[in-house]
Structure 1
Amino acid sequence: MTSLFDPIRLGDVELSNRVVMAPLTRNRAIHQLPNALHVEYYRQRASAGLIISEGTQICPEGQGYLDTPGIHTPEQVAAWRKVTDAVHAEGGRIAVQLWHVGRISLKAFQPGGQAPVSSTAKPATTKTYATEGFVNVDVPRALRTDEIPGLIQAYVHAARCAIEAGFDAVEVHGANGYLLDQFLRDSVNDRTDAYGGSIENRARLLIEVMTAIAGAIGPGRTGLRLSPVTPSNDIGQDSNPQALFNYVAEQLAPLKLAFLHVVEGATGGPRDVAPFDFEAMRQKFGGSWMVNNGYSREMAMDVIAKGLADTVAFGRAFIGNPDLVQRLRQNSELQESNRATYYGGGAEGYIDYPTLAQSKA
């Protein structure tokens, strides 16, 4: 029987176990650059089979939150190389999450103070994290059709930068109400061009992005995160999420991606927020399937043993437990994380959680 702690190969990447660290935005970059805190934070968690980094913007327009890192300049590549080197020195594997927030942004974060871009000009009723705390996002503008090829190339450029920075893979962020999700769902996408209207049209940008990245760095180093029914960031429910995401899975299948990372239910919230048959979607995809959202040790071990998933991603549990894999393996008690230090700040609540070994010392 397969165990959560057995090794697995995702595409071109060999993992020592099936416990994945999910992407977690922590707002500690300086001038969009990871720093020594990031090096230590990710090094401490290198026992994960795979670390997926915090959301990392693919271009200046992709930023929507204060103090988040990028992966599109030589300086960013050099800074991330220190992180990947540290993880690899501990025997770990790390992917970067390629992020474009779309309309979940502020003019203050955009080049020249321009409006954020999206599939639509409709604003989101939600907040983002800025210097003054959480504030309402600004009104976006709809991307022109002739701007889409440049956007796809920005994703490709960021993916190439990631490989140059030493990442083992990339995960494209197609979830949680950010840019690609804004194109996918008819609750937001009101376009009348080739990227709006039918399911095929709304899925077009995502499929083009994934095809281009897989062609640039190899499908075995390319993954994707989706969240078919999450309401995050005022994304709303698509009129037919099952048909939409089954279609997406079918279109992705021939690419032979390294993995598909699926958030079940509301991201960081209820798993039963809306009806959805994730197993039907998994069958359409046919490749390595990563599950996420509120998994306990028992749930994770059960889903792996039953062959319903290949890997399980844990988020908040990795914040307070850098040695989460060991704690899961031994069925040890998990430490609570300090929510007051989730966003912004320094070492406190970031790199100061003790491991089991340190607690016993």
Structure 2
Amino acid sequence: MLTQTTVKNQNAAVIDGSSSTPTLFTPARLGDLHLPNRIVMAPMSRARSSQPGDIPNALMAEYYAQRATAGLIVSEATQISRQGQGYSFTPGIYRQEQIAGWRLVTDAVHAVGGRIFLQLWHVGRVSHSVFQDGAAPVAPSAIQPRGTQVWIVGDDGVGRMVDCPTPRALSREEIQDVINDFRQGAANAMAAGFDGVEIHGGNGYLIDQFLRTVSNPRTDEYGGSIENRTRFLLQLSAAVADEIGADKVGVRLAPYITFKDMAEPQIAPTILHAAAALDKIGIAYIHLSEADWDDAPTIPEQFRHDLRAVYHGQLIVAGRYDQARAARILEEGLADLVAFGRPFVANPDLPRRLAENLPLAEFDGARLFGGDAGGYTDYPALAD
């Protein structure tokens, strides 16, 4: 198991006998995994699962295997239950057919020497009654996320953006049910052959909704104080760690992301409290999701240092990083690995292109979600 002593400030620690400052191409360790580089393929929804049933398939296996030279792949967000779904064609991990489908993916990635974690997901209020058997989505509280839409494919096969309705508040008993769904999702991921799991705790989805006062004005033990608002995240993280081992668990957090009606004045102390508690659980990494649109709020430098002070595991950062920016944050010791999202879409051999300063291809944004191999597995690697 990866202990706090082992991982503390690993960005500046000995890696296989070397004490030099790490680069994107320096090997690293993550729990029992040996990573050949520090380039992470970020989780990106692509909506290519087979229907009916949201089942991973051979096309998805090809897609991930093409990108297996990443030090680590984090899969697209994967709902832990039907209740946890908020978009059409996103894959699940709660049925045997889905587990078998994901086994196609993990076998393909491992066959070419890759490593892959499954991202466990519950969208909470970012959903629609079409995914809830006609009922309202669930959330910490019955507050509609203003200006938030989800992508739904109708009976005509056409995808449309639809407003999220007002959710209903989860009861205490239902909160425990969701925690158990995360635990079972982690067990199912291991049965499917994954190397570990990442708990999606950011980007305005259910766990993030519990963390923020703007979406969680509950008056019970899951709302109010920072200790109460972080309780759901910490209970389910402990449950998942107990199920599969803390060294196989990561958590994604997104403190300064404000979309989905999630602007939160208390977010920095909330995330730092959660990070300190996750450090005690002993999870393998925190994945810091940064806003990546043009006028997005930036993460304050002080917050990065404060996070390092309370959390001693590996830190992954993601959010419009290029090679130069990635090199800087590794050199400064404020991250251990850097995740790339959009560049991996059109560049399946991204680590090689970065290492050899080769040109990057542009992706077709119109073909990101849904469809077939077009805009998915048909981006070529560069010839030798």
- TM > 0.5 between the two? yes
SS at match of 1:98: strand
| Alignment correspondent of 1:230 | 257
Q: Cα offset for 1:271?
A: 5.3
What pairs up with 1:51-62 in 2 under 5 angstroms?
Answer: 51-62=73-84
Q: Cα offset for 1:229?
A: 1.1
| Alignment correspondent of 1:342 | 368
Q: Determine whether 1:216 maps to 2:237.
A: no
Q: Determine whether 1:325 maps to 2:351.
A: yes
Which ranges of structure 2 fall in alignment gaps of 5 or more residues? 1-20, 154-158
Distance in 2, matches of 1:34 and 1:269, equals 33
1:271-318 residue CA offsets vs partner (Å, 9 max, x unmatched)? 535757122112211110001101010111222233221100000010
The amino acid of 2:185's aligned partner reads: A
1:55-85 residue CA offsets vs partner (Å, 9 max, x unmatched)? 0000110000000000111111111001000
Distance in 2, matches of 1:284 and 1:273, equals 20
Distance in 1, matches of 2:266 and 2:128, equals 30
Aligned with residue 28 of structure 1, among 43, 48, 52 = 48
| Alignment correspondent of 1:189 | 216
| Alignment correspondent of 2:4 | none
Aligned with residue 175 of structure 1, among 184, 193, 202 = 202
Instruction: Give me the identity figure in percent.
Output: 47
Distance in 1, matches of 2:293 and 2:121, equals 18
Distance in 2, matches of 1:26 and 1:139, equals 26
Distance in 2, matches of 1:269 and 1:7, equals 32
SS at match of 1:277: helix
Q: Cα offset for 1:239?
A: 2.1
| Alignment correspondent of 1:75 | 97
- CA-atom RMSD in angstroms: 1.3
Q: Determine whether 1:315 maps to 2:341.
A: yes
Which ranges of structure 1 fall in alignment gaps of 5 or more residues? none
| Alignment correspondent of 1:93 | 115
User: Do 2:304 and 2:334's aligned partners in 1 also have CA atoms closer than 8 Å?
Assistant: no
1:155-190 residue CA offsets vs partner (Å, 9 max, x unmatched)? 000000000000001000000000000000011101
Q: Determine whether 1:202 maps to 2:229.
A: yes
Aligned with residue 6 of structure 1, among 15, 26, 39 = 26
SS at match of 1:76: helix
What pairs up with 1:243-282 in 2 under 5 angstroms?
Answer: 243-264=269-290, 266-270=291-295, 272-273=297-298, 275=300, 277-282=303-308
Query: Could you tell me the TM-score, scaled by structure 2's length?
Result: 0.90
Distance in 2, matches of 1:317 and 1:311, equals 16
Aligned with residue 65 of structure 1, among 69, 74, 87 = 87
Moved over 6 A (4+): none
Q: Determine whether 1:141 maps to 2:177.
A: no
SS at match of 1:319: helix
SS at match of 2:260: helix
Number of equivalences: 355
The amino acid of 1:14's aligned partner reads: H
